[in-house]
Amino acid sequence: MHTLTTTDIARLFRELASTIAGARDELCRLDGVIGDADHGIAMEQGFTAASKAIEALPEESTLADQLNAAAKGFLNAVGASSGPLYATAFMRAAKVAGARHAVPLNEAPGLIVAMAEGIRSRGKAEVGEKTMVDVWAPAAEAAGQGMADGLSLAGIMARTQAAATAGAESTRLMVATKGRSSRLGSRSVGHMDPGAASAAIVLNVIAQDWVRHGTD
C-alpha cells in the first residue's frame, strides 16, 4: 500500500511554494481588480516560509510536526488575511495526521477535509460569500464523499479538483461580502476572487502530487 510520508510532505510543500511563486503575478492582478493587489505576494511568502520551516525540522519529525511548523511559518510570514486561515488549516491537518511518520495514502483526502473545516471556522465564512471557502468547502465535500463511496485515490482527487475549479469559477458571479473586496459591492461581480483562485491552485497541486505518488 502506498503511504504519505514525511518526505512526501516536504516535497509537496516545495512544490506548493514553487507553483504559487509562478502564479504570483496573476494572483496579484486578480487582487488588483477587487483588492490591494498583494495576494500573490502574500501567498508566495507564506508557502515559501512554510516549506522552509518544514525543511528546517530534524529528520525524526512527525507529520504533525511538519504541518504545525508549516502553520507557524505561514502565519509568521503572512500575519493578516490568508495567514491565520492557512495556519489554522495546517494545524487541523496536523491533528488528523498525528504523531506518525506516514499514513496510508488513501487516508490523505481526510487532510483536505480537515484543512477546509479549519479555514471555514477561522474565517467564519460560508459558501456564496466570494472567498476561498467557495473552493475549499466543495472540494472537501467531494473528497469526503469520494472516500465514503470507496473510490480510488485517483477518483477522489479527480472529483476534488473538479469541485475546486468549479468553485473558483463560481466566485465570478458573486457579490463580495467579506474582506476588502466587500467595499465594492456589486462592482465585484464578474471578477474571480483571488483567494479562491489561489485555493484552487493549492488543491490542484495537492491532488496531482498525491495521484502521481500513488501510481509511482
**What is the reported pLDDT for 33?**
83
- pTM for the model stands at 0.94
d(CA 56, CA 47): 14
pLDDT of residue 185: 55
Chain segment 76-133, per-residue pLDDT in tens: 999 878 999 999 999 999 999 999 999 999 999 999 999 999 999 999 999 999 999 9
Given this model, what pLDDT does residue 182 score? 55
Q: Residue 178: its pLDDT value, please?
A: 60
Residue with cell 479549519: 118
DSSP 3-state of 5: strand
Alpha helices in the chain, H assignment, sequence order: 6-34, 39-55, 63-77, 82-97, 109-123, 133-148, 153-170, 194-214
pLDDT at 1: 66
Q: What is the mean pLDDT of residues 153-158?
A: 97
